[in-house]
């Protein structure tokens, strides 16, 4: 096998010679989407198709005593039912958190937890039948918050995890923290809270399972991760993976909310097999709130030492996450609340403690920015306060303290290119920060914040040493190029990116590329559309496959044209000698020449990220081939008499490496600003307990699109976007991610702008008008003009892993970890880089995660 | 998706036919116009009528007659909200009403919803406007199938709030309604349509249909200045969590001869700030008087924790928005950031 890694991806081709890369081009699925031709999962119809509906728990915590389908069976059109014991195997996205059942077997853990399922000949009948199913429960006491989970180890929501209702605790120290704080001229400590929120993709999850023969099945689903769904189906259905085909339909938005394998997907497959009929389920909006996997509510305590010039000497960050009722990606989310603090500004010594609790609420998981918007909010507001105390302009504080390209951070992340300086310069110039900040009338303000994000997680979710992206190209005498890849189009434009990369390498038009994506039977594995990985990882795999195809064709054509392969140019659907352009072949003839010379033409490309230097337990979360950077300035208008405020303009600059399609990049930036403002201003996945003496109810406050507030067009300010291009050697043609990073600076920039406008600090999101009024009132009374949490929960984070930093001469390992000696195949949550190294050496092929 | 239950649907072509169906079916029948309130409620199983009678094919219930300023204006109950917003004569003659109607929901829903429907809009509450499954999880509430009002568990009444934007404005403008039933016709001041109860919020009988809204010439913009301020989270879509509808009559010297202020969404019916009339009558609309009236409004508003935003803050905003609405009428600057629809 070739070394899959191409060292300098920017050198692959002169990007200015291509027709697409770097230029705005129409996305390949654009016409179909705007004209209603695209078939989403809910648009699929099959003969004899039946409709599935899940019966969900109406109590927040308890045991299931009985399920009675008798009244449901009387509903016209009723076809069948399922209960949990028919699917006893557990599943879950992370190997370490296999804690879900397709339908509850004995326990329910939140209002909305699926208990049973019914199928019927029509959607109306299935809905009615589900309402008729009678379930009896024995209630158990409930846990509603981080504080309650910490205070009440019993009853345990799960019988695994760190202890009691603590799912996961993490504590790690990089470097001599104490001397770091001793060196500081200023030590600042702050508390923050970031409320949970949900993805609100327009498309509600849908799945259609189609049985074939006796023991084969195809599952169409709105999933971002067909490969992981494939694995979960294999595990729960007990059918070999080779007989299950998962096809991810184009997603009507994902944002992380369709990255877990879900109950309804597995139940649809089981029901289809049971009834021998295609089975469709489309969730209603309330059910999407119960699938959730959205942003964790996080309490944070951050303490940082600064020298007079604003350089940071040490930081200690503590986070407590409200995880909801299941593991989901939670262990990774917990690490992510600490992992990326070090990649923007030099942080020579750093301690991170995190804890995730189980509560009787829908499970939290990954949402755009996965675990990092919360600590980023804390960090960037904290920096704004530090700048004020140190008498330094917040922009200058950041400009004077930027991380170094290629450096290895205190927590052992290797950084790539860093365009943050240019990002900051762009937004301060655009907003006229130097002239206007501090000179605006009372009630108007400017706020600045930055952020950074991964371009793909360095490690897969389950531990293995296989490619994380694969691309296969098939070329034949038609002159067409078929591109096979497991990646999933979730609206971000990944299909268009891959097609453009291949089209430019081969010098053909986008229309010559036939895409076949996200089909586990037909396409090479790609891990999915999450962690901002597709452009970089699938893009590099596509680049490799296309380069190999080009080389094959060039070899054959060079013989025929009697020139050297390196003299050949692929452009305008032709292959020709750069010295004698008129003597070339059409692309079609070039392929025919190659097919005649080599036989059937097909090439492959695959991608595995570079190894990360970190080798301590937990080092698997955070590494990435490179990181993207963003900076934002927000201008806000605040009415001090009501607390009502309005962002009036957002300037956002994003370090994209190189834009494959600038139009798509702008779309992602504007979408991120929109989502970031939603979280900062109004979005809340809020819950409600009824008075305890009258009821045990613990319910989602308002699981509806009307009452879960997301901004409308009228609430969106003007957005000015800047694309900062500094090609990164790790990315295809130098490209980095843009799907998630630009969200990060938005919430803290808003909070900082409100402070600039009326002088109050709001240390939590969403920022509500009453908070501003309360902070103003506190200021008037001579108290701190602030609204936010006043403390951090009492948490035992367990023993701290001690990891010397690169600067201290460390080797990337912890010096006090007894577990690091253990020879375990399945270790911990996400595996580590050393696991993979070992596996490569021993050729360990055991990839299942029982 | 959520599905409608089974029901019989009638689409009568005349009011006479509609009224006779309603008389025959009794309280099991419901009237529907645009359906933007009833259909979602039926999907959530709030109402399970055996029969639904649509008014949308009855021509005489549709139409706006406002151009002749010498006569009282008439608006047919099934007139689309968007048709009102786009009617230049209505905007000129009753600008406060135009603004209130323009603030209702979003353009697509204003193209379906009707004025009659908005006047009869069901009261709302976040313990009530939920699916059947959700309401099972709280054992329902007093408004439907349950026994407790979860907003105020010790209360013997339901606290669901009025959510109509046209209602408080029509109350302030002194509108009257023409109601029709098989028994005949009656004319009723709109203020008498509403009751202070979240469940029985209308005095109208089930077999009665709101046919027309009548607006007096005294409320024309020539005689009266009106304003409507609506508080909600977003610039569109949301129901009011507080609204202030104000109409003020002044003489040539600027002395107030009459004033009517109604608050929306902070009670089960539009709340009249009655004392405001006495406070303002015979006075000029000064900053001081306005501030006084704002405090009166604050005392009357009873925002509960059953909609968006913190209840306490909404109470405070009742004062701020009353002040803003009256300042706008008086031509004074308004401190509060205006709602986005205020540009109309």
Q: Which of A16-25, B292-301, B306-315 has the lowest mean pLDDT?
A: A16-25
Chain B: residue whose CA lies nearest to A686: B308
**Does position A828 have pLDDT exceeding 60, yes or no?**
no
State pTM to two decimals. 0.95
Tell whether B235 lies on the interface with A, counting CB pairs under 8 A. Answer: yes
Task: Give the integer Cα–Cα distance in Å for B155 and B325.
Answer: 32
Residue A345 to residues A376, A452, B82, B309: CA-CA distances in angstroms?
12, 10, 53, 37
What does the pLDDT read at residue A552? Answer: 97
Question: In whole angstroms, what is the distance from residue B4 CA to residue A165 CA?
Answer: 41
Does B340 have pLDDT greater than 70? Answer: no
* Phi and psi, residue A793, nearest 5°: -60, 150
Q: Which of A579-583, A623-627, A769-773, B332-336 has the lowest mean pLDDT?
A: B332-336
The percentage of residues in chain A with a pLDDT greater than 70, rounded to a whole number, is: 94
Interface contact flag, A699 B3, Cβ < 8 Å: no
3-state secondary structure at position A383:
helix
ipTM over 0.90: yes
Q: Is-contact A618 A835, C-beta < 8 A?
A: no
pLDDT tier, B338 (very low <50, low <70, confident <90, very high otherwise): confident
pLDDT at A850 over 50: no
CB distance A808 to A176 below 8 Å: yes
**B136/A644 Cβ within 8 A:** no
In the predicted structure, residue A604 carries a pLDDT above the cut 70: yes
Residues of A in contact with B236 (CB under 8 A): 712-714
CATH 3.90.1170.50 residue ranges of chain A are: 44-140+202-253+258-291
Distance from the Cα of B234 to chain A's closest Cα (Å) equals: 6
Please check whether residue A696 is in contact with residue A62, taking contact to mean a CB–CB distance below 8 angstroms.
no
Asked if the model's pLDDT at residue A829 lies above 50, the reply is: no
Whether the pLDDT of residue A610 is over 90: the answer is yes
Nearest to A708 by CA among A304, A282, A292: A292
Average pLDDT for B132-138: 96
Whether B335 and A639 lie within 8 Å, measured CB to CB:
yes
- Where along chain A do the CATH 3.30.365.10 domains lie? 9-27+466-607
A824 pLDDT more than 70? no
Residues 107-166 of B with CB under 8 A from A: 126, 129-134, 136-139, 148, 150, 153
Tokens of A641: 């008499």
- CB pair distance less than 8 Å for B337 and A701: no
Distance CA A684, CA A701 (A): 9
Among partner residues A694, A714, A770, which is closest to B234 by beta-carbon distance? A714
Calculate mean pLDDT across residues A62-69: 98
Predicted pLDDT of residue A849 = 32
Partner residue facing A714 (CB), from B153, B236, B336: B236
Q: Are A465 and A523 in contact (CB under 8 A)?
A: no
Please answer whether residues A195 and A788 qualify as being in contact, where contact means their C-beta atoms are separated by less than 8 angstroms: no
List, as ranges, residues 701-730 from A with C-beta within 8 Å of B: 701-704, 706-707, 709, 711-715
- B185 burial class (0-12, 13-18, 19+ CB within 10 angstroms)? exposed
pLDDT of residue A2: 41
Cβ of residue B337 closer than 8 Å to a chain A Cβ: yes
Any residues with CB less than 8 A from the CB of A107 and at least 6 apart, and which? A61, A62, A63, A64
Q: Which residues contact A146 (CB under 8 A, 6 or more apart)?
A: A297, A299, A320, A321, A322, A357, A359, A793
Q: Is A241 part of the contact surface with chain B (CB cutoff 8 Å)?
A: no
Task: State the nearest Cα–Cα gap between B146 and chain A, in angstroms.
Answer: 13
Q: In angstroms, what CA-CA distances link A191 with A43, A762, A763?
A: 47, 11, 7
- Report the C-alpha gap between A431 and A52 in whole angstroms: 53
Give the pLDDT score at A837: 46
Q: Round to whole Å and give the CA distance between A196 and A678.
A: 12
Provide the pLDDT confidence category of residue A8 given band limits of 50, 70 and 90.
low
Which residues, including other chains, have CB under 8 Å from residue A359's CB and lie 6 or more apart?
A143, A144, A145, A146, A148, A149, A157, A165, A322, A323, A324, A325
Q: What is the pLDDT of residues A92-117, one digit of tens each?
A: 999 999 999 999 999 999 999 999 99
Residue keyed to tokens 């009617």 = B87
Closest CB to B148 among A639, A694, A703: A694
With a pLDDT cut of 90, the percent of chain A lying above it is 93
Q: Which member of A204, A646, A691 has the closest CB to residue B153?
A: A691
Q: At what angle do helices A746-758 and A662-681 cross, to 10 degrees?
A: 60
pLDDT at A832 over 90: no
Q: How many residues does chain B have?
A: 344
pLDDT of residue A213: 78
Asked if the model's pLDDT at residue A834 lies above 70, the reply is: no
What's the whole-number mean pLDDT along residues A234-246? Answer: 97
Mean of per-residue pLDDT scores for chain A: 94
Residue A365, helix vs strand vs coil: coil
Chain A residues with CB under 8 Å of B150 CB are 690
Domains of chain B, earliest start first: 1-60 (3.30.43.10), 236-343 (3.30.390.50)
Across the interface, of A639, A711, A712, the residue whose CB is closest to B336 is A639
Kindly indicate the confidence band of residue A11, based on its pLDDT and cuts at 50, 70 and 90.
Answer: low
Burial B315-338 (b: 16+ CB within 10 A, else e): bbbbbbbbbbbbbbbbeeebebbe
pLDDT of residue A215: 78
CATH number for the domain formed by residue range(s) A9-27+466-607: 3.30.365.10
Is the Cβ of B27 closer than 8 Å to some Cβ of chain A? no
Task: Judge contact between A463 and A639, C-beta under 8 A.
Answer: no
Residue A553, SS3? Answer: helix
Report the distance separating Cα A287 and Cα A292, nearest Å: 8
Q: Is the pLDDT of residue B341 over 60?
A: no
**CATH H superfamily, domain A44-140+202-253+258-291:** Aldehyde oxidase/xanthine dehydrogenase, a/b hammerhead (3.90.1170.50)
Q: Quote the minimal CA–CA distance from A444 to chain B in Å.
A: 12
Are the beta carbons of A326 and A97 closer than 8 angstroms?
A: yes
pLDDT for the residue numbered B335: 77
Residues facing B75 on adjacent strands: B64, B213
| pLDDT bucket at A830, cuts 50 / 70 / 90 | very low
Supply A690's token pair.
């009824």
B80: nearest Cα among B127, B116, B37, B106? B116
Of residues B104, B137, B126, B119, the one with CA closest to residue B304: B126
């Amino acid at each position: 096998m070739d070394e899959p890694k191409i060292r300098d991806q920017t050198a692959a081709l002169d990007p200015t010679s291509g027709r697409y890369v770097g230029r705005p081009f129409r996305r390949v699925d654009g016409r179909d989407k705007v004209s209603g031709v695209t078939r989403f999962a809910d648009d699929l119809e099959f003969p004899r198709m039946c409709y599935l509906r899940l019966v969900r728990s109406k109590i927040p915590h308890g045991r299931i005593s009985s399920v009675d389908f008798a009244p449901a069976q009387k509903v016209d059109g009723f076809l069948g039912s399922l209960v949990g014991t028919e699917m006893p195997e557990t599943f879950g996205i992370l190997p370490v958190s296999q804690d879900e059942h397709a339908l509850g077997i004995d326990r329910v853990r939140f209002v909305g937890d699926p208990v049973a399922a019914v199928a019927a000949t029509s959607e109306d009948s299935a809905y009615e039948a589900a309402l008729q199913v009678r379930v009896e429960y024995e209630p158990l006491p409930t846990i509603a918050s981080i504080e309650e989970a910490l205070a009440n180890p019993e009853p345990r929501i799960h019988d695994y995890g760190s202890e009691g209702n603590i799912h996961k605790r993490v504590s790690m120290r990089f470097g001599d923290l104490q001397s770091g704080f001793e060196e500081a001229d200023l030590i600042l400590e702050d508390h923050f809270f970031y409320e949970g929120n949900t993805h609100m993709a327009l498309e509600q999850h849908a799945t259609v399972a189609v049985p074939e023969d006796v023991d084969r099945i195809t599952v169409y689903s709105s999933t971002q991760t067909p490969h992981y769904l494939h694995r979960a189906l294999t595990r729960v259905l007990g059918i070999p993976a080779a007989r299950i085909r998962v096809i991810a339909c184009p997603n009507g938005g994902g944002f992380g909310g369709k990255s877990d394998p879900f109950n309804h997907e597995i139940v649809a497959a089981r029901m289809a097999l049971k009834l021998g009929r295609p089975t469709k389920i489309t969730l209603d909006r309330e059910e999407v709130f119960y699938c959730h996997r959205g942003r964790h509510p996080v309490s944070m305590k951050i303490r940082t030492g600064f020298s007079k010039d604003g350089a940071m000497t040490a930081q200690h960050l503590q986070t407590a996450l409200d995880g909801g009722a299941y593991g989901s990606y939670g262990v990774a989310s917990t690490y992510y609340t600490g992992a990326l603090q070090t990649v923007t500004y030099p942080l020579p010594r750093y301690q991170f403690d995190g804890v995730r609790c189980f509560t009787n609420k829908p499970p939290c998981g990954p949402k755009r920015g996965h675990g990092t918007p919360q600590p980023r909010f804390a960090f960037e507001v904290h920096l704004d306060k530090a700048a004020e105390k140190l008498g330094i302009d917040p922009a200058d504080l950041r400009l004077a303290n930027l991380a170094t390209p290629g450096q290895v951070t205190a927590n052992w992340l290797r950084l790539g290119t860093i365009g943050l300086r240019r990002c900051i310069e762009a937004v301060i110039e655009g907003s006229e920060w130097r002239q206007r900040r501090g000179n605006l009338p009372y009630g108007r303000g400017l706020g600045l914040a930055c952020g950074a994000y991964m371009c793909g997680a360095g490690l897969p979710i389950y531990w293995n040493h296989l490619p994380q992206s694969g691309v296969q190209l098939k070329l034949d005498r038609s002159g067409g190029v078929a591109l096979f890849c497991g990646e999933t189009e979730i609206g971000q434009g990944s299909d268009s990116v891959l097609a453009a990369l291949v089209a430019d390498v081969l010098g053909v038009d986008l229309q010559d590329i036939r895409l076949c994506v996200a089909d586990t039977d037909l396409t090479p594995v790609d891990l999915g559309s999450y962690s901002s990985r597709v452009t970089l990882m699938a893009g590099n795999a596509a680049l490799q496959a296309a380069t190999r195809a080009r080389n094959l064709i060039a070899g054959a054509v060079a013989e025929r044209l009697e020139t050297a392969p390196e003299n050949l140019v692929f452009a305008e659907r032709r292959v020709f000698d750069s010295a004698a352009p008129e003597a070339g072949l059409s692309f079609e003839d070039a392929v025919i020449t190659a097919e005649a010379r080599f036989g059937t033409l097909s090439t492959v490309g695959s991608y595995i990220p570079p190894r990360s230097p970190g080798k301590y337990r937990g080092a698997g979360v955070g590494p990435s081939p490179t990181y993207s950077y963003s900076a934002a300035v927000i201008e806000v208008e605040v009415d001090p008499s009501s607390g009502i405020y309005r962002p009036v303009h957002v300037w956002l600059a994003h370090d994209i490496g190189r834009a494959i399609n600038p139009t798509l990049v702008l779309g992602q930036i504007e979408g991120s600003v929109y989502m970031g403002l939603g979280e900062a201003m109004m979005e809340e996945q809020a819950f409600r307990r009824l008075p305890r003496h009258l009821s045990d109810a613990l319910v989602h406050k308002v699981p509806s699109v009307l009452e879960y507030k997301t901004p409308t067009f009228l609430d969106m300010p003007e957005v000015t976007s800047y694309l900062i291009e500094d090609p990164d050697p790790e990315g295809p043609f130098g490209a980095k991610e843009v799907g998630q990073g630009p969200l990060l600076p938005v919430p803290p920039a808003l909070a900082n702008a409100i402070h600039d406008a009326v002088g109050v600090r709001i240390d939590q999101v969403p920022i509500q008008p009453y908070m501003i009024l309360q902070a103003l009132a506190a200021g008037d009374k001579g108290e701190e003009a602030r609204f936010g949490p006043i403390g951090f929960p009492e948490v035992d984070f367990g023993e701290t892993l001690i990891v010397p930093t690169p600067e201290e001469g460390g080797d990337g390992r912890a010096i006090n970890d007894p577990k690091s000696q253990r020879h375990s195949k399945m270790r911990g949550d996400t595996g580590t880089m050393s696991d993979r190294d070992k596996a490569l050496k021993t050729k360990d092929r055991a990839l299942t995660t029982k | 998706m959520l599905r409608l239950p089974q029901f019989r649907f009638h689409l009568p072509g005349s009011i006479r036919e509609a009224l006779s169906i309603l008389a025959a079916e009794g309280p099991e029948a419901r009237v529907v116009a645009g359906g933007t309130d009833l259909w979602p409620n039926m999907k959530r199983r709030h109402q399970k009528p055996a029969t639904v009678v649509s008014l949308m094919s009855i021509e005489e219930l549709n139409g706006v007659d406002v151009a002749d300023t010498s006569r009282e204006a008439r608006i047919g109950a099934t007139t689309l909200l968007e048709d009102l917003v786009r009617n230049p004569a209505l905007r000129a003659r009753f600008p406060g009403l135009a603004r209130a109607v323009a603030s209702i929901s979003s353009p697509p829903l204003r193209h379906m919803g009707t004025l009659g429907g908005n006047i009869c809009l069901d009261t709302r509450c976040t313990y009530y406007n939920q699916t059947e499954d959700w309401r099972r999880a709280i054992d329902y509430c007093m408004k439907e199938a349950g026994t407790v009002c979860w907003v105020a568990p010790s209360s013997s009444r339901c606290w669901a709030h009025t959510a109509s934007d046209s209602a408080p404005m029509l109350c302030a403008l002194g509108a009257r309604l023409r109601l029709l039933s098989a028994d005949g016709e009656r004319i009723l001041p709109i203020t008498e349509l509403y009751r202070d109860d979240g469940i029985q919020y209308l005095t109208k009988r089930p077999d009665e249909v709101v046919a027309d809204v009548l607006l007096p010439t005294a409320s024309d913009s020539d005689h009266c200045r009106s304003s409507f301020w609506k508080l909600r989270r977003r610039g569109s879509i949301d129901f009011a969590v507080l609204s202030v509808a104000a109409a003020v009559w002044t003489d040539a010297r600027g002395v107030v001869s009459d004033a009517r202020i109604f608050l929306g969404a902070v009670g089960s019916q539009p709340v009249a700030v009655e004392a405001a009339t006495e406070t303002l009558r015979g006075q000029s609309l000064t900053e001081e008087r306005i501030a006084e009236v704002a405090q009166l409004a604050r005392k009357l508003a009873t925002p509960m924790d059953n909609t968006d935003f913190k209840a306490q803050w909404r109470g405070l905003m009742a004062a701020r928005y009353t002040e803003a609405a009256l300042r706008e009428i008086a031509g004074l600057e308004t401190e509060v950031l205006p709602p986005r629809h205020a540009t109309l």
